[in-house]
Amino acid sequence: MRTFMVLLLSVATLVLGACGGGSDGQNSQGPKPSSTVADAEAARIAALYRYARVLGSIALANLTEVDIGERRAGTTACTGGGSVEYTDTTPTAGAAPEALIAFDRCVEDVGVIDGFVDVRQSLIRLQPDGFGDFNFSWNADLSVDGYDLSFVSVTGRTFLLPDGSLRVETRNGADNEAVLTAPNGQFVYLDDAKLNIGYDPSNGRVNFGTSVFRMVDPLDSNRGASVTFGDFLAPVTEAVSVFSIGTPISGGLTYVRSFDPTATDLEGRGATQNGLLDLTIDALPPSRSFAGDAGQYAWALILGSPLLTLPAGEPE
C-alpha cells in the first residue's frame, strides 16, 4: 500500500524548487531546449536531479554529525535570512541521539527552505580519533521555493573518513514512498531512491556515486521515469543549515521512461561536461514508430523548468 507522505511531496517540491531557486535558469548561457521528445525527457531528468541535490544538500549538513541536537541546540541565522533551530529530542540519557531541525524561511543557495527534518542516529561506531560511521533514519516535511517534499523513516548510513571527507548513503523503498509536489499542484511518487554522495572539503565538490531516483505516476504505477547518476560532480557552498549543491559539472547518466506494459519504453544516455548535458533518447526495444531523438541542454536552464507529468502513450 502506497504511503502518501507529505514529507516526500515536500521533497519533490523542495527538489524542484531548490533547483529552480537561486541563480538556476537565470542569465545562463548555453543551448536552449525546443519542443522535442528529448526536451521533455531532459526536463524529467532535471526534476529528479533537483530531488537528488536537495536530499544531498540537507544530508551532508545534518546527517554527518553525532549528537547533532546536543551539539547545535539553539537557533542559527541562515546565510541570506531566516533561521534554523536545532532541538535535542533524545528521550533519555544514553538513548540513541535524536534531533529536530526546523527551518523558518531559511535562505541558502539551494533555495528558501521551510519545514522540518527529524533525525535518529544508531549503531554509532567511532574510533578514538573521531572517525567511523553510524546509521540513521530521518523524516522530513519540507518546502523549497514552493516545492514540497515529504517522507517517513528513510534509512541510511554516514561515513566520517580519516582524510576529512564525508559520505552519506540513504535509501527509500516502496514502503516509505515519497511524494514530490510542484507549485501548480502536479505531483509524483518517488520510490526506490538511492542516494550515494561524497563530499571532500579540500576541493569544494560533491560526487554522486551510483545514485538512482525514480518517479511514478500517482494514477498508474506502470508509468514512470528513472535516472541513474554515475560519478556526477557538482560544486558545493557550505553553510550551517545546508551544504547547497549546485548544477552538475561533469558525469554520466542512464535513463528509462516506462509507459504501459504494451508500449515501448524510452532509454536515454547522457554525458555532462562544463555544465552542458548531451542527451540521446532511443526506444527500448527499437520501435518503428520512434526513430530516436537527441539534444544538448544547459543544466542551469532545464533545472528551472522541471517536468513532473508522465503521460500515457508512446512518443511520435
Phi-psi region of 7 (alpha: psi -120 to 50; beta: other; left: phi over 0): alpha
Q: CB under 8 Å to 262, separation ≥6 — which residues?
A: none
User: By the 8 A CB rule, do 187 and 179 touch?
Assistant: yes
CA distance 131 to 119: 20
pLDDT exceeds 50 at position 250: yes
| Separation in Å, CA 3 to CA 6, 179, 190, 195 | 9, 9, 11, 20
State pLDDT tens for residues 63-86: 887 777 777 889 999 999 999 999
State pLDDT tens for residues 217-236: 988 888 999 999 988 999 99
User: By the 8 A CB rule, do 25 and 300 touch?
Assistant: yes
Confidence of residue 182 (pLDDT cuts 50, 70, 90): confident
Give me the phi and psi of 116, to 5 degrees please: -140, 160
Average pLDDT rounded to a whole number, residues 2-26 = 40
Lowest mean pLDDT among 25-34, 72-81, 84-93, 306-315: 25-34
Q: What is the mean pLDDT of the chain?
A: 83
Share of the chain above pLDDT 70, in %: 85
pLDDT exceeds 70 at position 17: no
The pLDDT assigned to 176 comes to 64
The pLDDT assigned to 35 comes to 58
